[in-house]
Amino acid sequence: MSQYKKILSSASGIELIEMTSAVAYRAAELRAKDGLKTSDSIQVGTALEYGAKYFLTNDIRLKIVKEIKAITPRSFEKKYLCPTLAYSPLING
């Protein structure tokens, strides 16, 4: 475990944050309201409590949460990194 903590704490662009009671309450609300798994509700609840507008995920079921915009890496790539991919004949047939 200490190896993971060392990697995460020294990695550029990663900020470790504390689990607060506000995050726990938000997670519980999401789990009750939207039926999220506990781990998903903690992650999304944390994002919301810290003011995130977007949640990057491969789990399209998280789009059920209306308080945050869940986006997939593929949709992020198409929209922000390479918009021409959205109209590629290789992708759209």
Contacts with 31 (C-beta within 8 Å, 6 or more apart), sequence order: 37, 38, 41
Asked if residue 70 lies in contact with residue 57, where contact means CB atoms within 8 angstroms, the answer is: yes
Task: Give the range of the structural domain holding residue 50, as residue numbers without chain letter.
Answer: 19-92
Per the domain annotation, does 2 fall within a domain? no
Q: How many CA atoms lie within 13 A of 91 on its CB side?
A: 10
Per the domain annotation, does 9 fall within a domain? no
How many structural domains comprise the chain?
1
> Which amino acid is present at 40?
D
Q: Would you give the DSSP letter of residue 55?
A: E
Per-residue pLDDT of the chain in tens (93 residues, 90 and over written 9): 678 878 877 888 888 888 999 999 999 999 999 999 999 999 999 999 999 999 999 999 999 999 999 999 988 888 878 766 555 555 544
Evaluate if pTM is beyond 0.85: no
